[in-house]
Amino acid sequence: MSRTAHLLRHRGHAHGSGHDQHDNSAFEGPDAARRYARMTWLMRPLYNRIAADIAAGTPHGARVLDIGTGPGQLLVALARRRPDLSLTGVDVSAGMIDVAAARLGDRADAVVGDAGDLPFPDDSFDLVVTSFSLHHWPDVPAAAAEIVRVLRPDGHLGVYDFHRGPFDDLTRALEAQPGLAGRTVRRGRMPGHLPLHLFDRLVC
């Protein structure tokens, strides 16, 4: 059966909060999504670097969720490296999900949904990743609770974002999750040899 976009109109409860970084209007609509897709295509080396980092530590056949997948550039890079992985992208913007679904075809599921209210059952994924989306989430604690809920108990998380992103908020929220008791949340510079400290990675 073809795995195409599930264009679920999900509750966008967290938008329009008044904070610029939470204003996702730049990502809404087909034109905005296509413009952003062109930009991420030009930035393929960065996504390839992140995909290589993820691919290196992910077991065979793992189920991977990319939150705030946008036009799916990270999943495209991951799919090339790891044909064995089962890939899902979720994004609050239906325009982005249309583009991601068109690019990924049968290689991934692409689903509309909010990080703070993920449309997946408990324990659905072995790995949750997200790139350059965290700093747009209006309710980081709600997203942290949702990430832990959809991850299997032995699952892992990889978050890639700007150094100035809300990593401290996410760390606090993850450490407060009973489901992660005894696990270590580690944040550091994104692996690779970028001359400037622009990006960080959080793993758990």
Ligand X SMILES: C[S@@+](CC[C@H](N)C(=O)[O-])C[C@H]1O[C@@H](n2cnc3c(N)ncnc32)[C@H](O)[C@@H]1O
- Does residue 92 belong to the site contacting ligand X (CB under 6 A)? yes
What are the percentages of helix, strand and coil residues in the chain, rounded to 5? Answer: 40, 25, 35
User: From residue 66, how far is each of 6, 31, 169, 178 by CA, in Å?
Assistant: 15, 22, 20, 23
Could you give the string, one character per residue 142-171, with x where binding to ligand X holds by CB under 6 A and - elsewhere? ------------------------------
User: From residue 158, how far is each of 55, 179, 202 by CA, in Å?
Assistant: 11, 17, 6
CB of 20 to ligand X, least distance (A): 13
Q: Indicate left, alpha or beta for 68 from its phi (over 0: left) and psi (-120 to 50: alpha).
A: left
What's the token pair of residue 123?
């324990």
Could you give the string, one character per residue 95-114, with x where binding to ligand X holds by CB under 6 A and - elsewhere? -x-----------------x
User: Which of 125, 137, 167, 199 forms a contact with ligand X (CB under 6 A)?
Assistant: 137
- Does residue 93 belong to the site contacting ligand X (CB under 6 A)? yes
Part in contact with ligand X (CB under 6 A); list of ranges 78-86, 125-133, 149-157, 188-196: 125-133
Distance CA 162, CA 148 (A): 22
User: Which of 58, 73, 88, 177 forms a contact with ligand X (CB under 6 A)?
Assistant: 73
User: For 139-156, b where at least 16 C-beta lie within 10 A, e where not — what string?
Assistant: bbbbbbbbbbebbeeebb
User: Which of 103, 136, 156, 201 forms a contact with ligand X (CB under 6 A)?
Assistant: 136
User: Which of 5, 49, 63, 69 forms a contact with ligand X (CB under 6 A)?
Assistant: 69
Q: Residues in the site for ligand X, rule: CB under 6 A?
A: 14, 24, 27, 40, 67-70, 73-74, 91-93, 96, 114-116, 131-133, 136-137
